């Protein structure tokens, strides 16, 4: 059973994306704090937030603060997605397909694989999705990891990342083993 992982180029791309996401998150946090005039000291954060709200906030503060708050919340989800891609491993064998990543193990018999479809036709790098007949995320024991995986991909899909080494070979192996494609 051959295991497919990110190539060195795919790992470099993931590192660049991870560093970029961390910089965006740090910028959003800094902008949020400075826009509202908050203190990052644990003991002073709530009093500084109360003082800021009591002084009244203008549109010039509320709109950027809400935008930065959305980025502060969403960027960790992006970071998780990048980390899941970084450690992804696919194993295709006679009995089925196995996907492993950070704390995630999903084992699927070939009868559970419904097909492949391109996930991003407009992108520079190909990204395909393995369409499944069942909720594969239900196999993830940890509820937080299950939630994060479903947020990124859904319950009945698995990504086939662009940076995988021997990616075309994995896709051919999946196509060869699909027993009965989904209609529509």
| pLDDT tens per residue, range 112-143 | 999 898 877 666 677 889 999 989 999 999 99
2 torsion bin: left (phi>0), alpha (psi -120 to 50), beta (else) = beta
Query: Residue 184: pLDDT above 50?
Result: no
The HSE-up count of residue 148 (CA atoms within 13 Å, CB side) is: 22
Long-range contacts of 150-158 (CB under 8 A, 24+ apart): 151/77, 152/77, 152/80, 152/81, 152/84, 153/129, 156/131, 156/132, 157/129, 157/130, 157/131, 157/132, 158/99, 158/106, 158/129, 158/130, 158/132
What is the model's pLDDT at position 79?
A: 95
Give Cα 130 distance to the centre of its chain.
15
Mean pLDDT over 101-122 rounds to 87
Kindly report the average pLDDT of the chain as a whole number: 88
Which residues neighbour 108 within 8 Å (Cβ) at sequence distance 6 or greater? 96, 97, 98, 99, 132, 136
What's the pLDDT tens digit per position in 23-77?
999 999 999 888 887 777 778 777 887 787 778 878 778 899 899 999 999 999 9
Q: At what angle do helices 59-86 and 143-153 cross, to 10 degrees?
A: 100
Query: Residue 182: pLDDT above 60?
Result: no
What is the model's pLDDT at position 181?
A: 59
Cα 36 to Cα 152: distance, rounded to the nearest angstrom = 31
What is the model's pLDDT at position 180?
A: 66
What is the model's pLDDT at position 167?
A: 92
* pLDDT confidence bin for 183, thresholds 50/70/90: low
């Amino acid at each position: 059973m051959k295991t497919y992982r990110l190539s060195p180029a795919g790992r470099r791309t993931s590192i660049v994306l991870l560093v970029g996401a961390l910089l965006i998150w740090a910028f959003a946090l800094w902008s949020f704090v400075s826009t509202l005039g908050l203190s990052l000291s644990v003991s002073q954060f709530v009093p500084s937030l109360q003082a800021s709200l009591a002084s009244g906030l203008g549109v010039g503060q509320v709109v950027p603060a809400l935008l930065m708050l959305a980025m502060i919340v969403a960027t960790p989800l992006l970071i998780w997605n990048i980390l899941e891609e970084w450690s992804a491993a696919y194993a295709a064998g006679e009995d089925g397909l196995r996907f492993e990543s950070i704390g995630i193990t999903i084992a699927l018999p070939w009868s559970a694989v419904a097909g492949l479809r391109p996930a991003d036709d407009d992108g520079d790098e190909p990204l395909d999705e393995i369409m499944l007949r069942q909720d594969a995320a239900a196999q993830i024991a940890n509820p937080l990891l299950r939630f994060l995986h479903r947020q990124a991909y859904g319950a009945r899909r698995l990504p086939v990342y662009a940076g995988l080494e021997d990616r075309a070979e994995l896709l051919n192996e999946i196509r060869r083993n699909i027993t009965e494609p989904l209609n529509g």
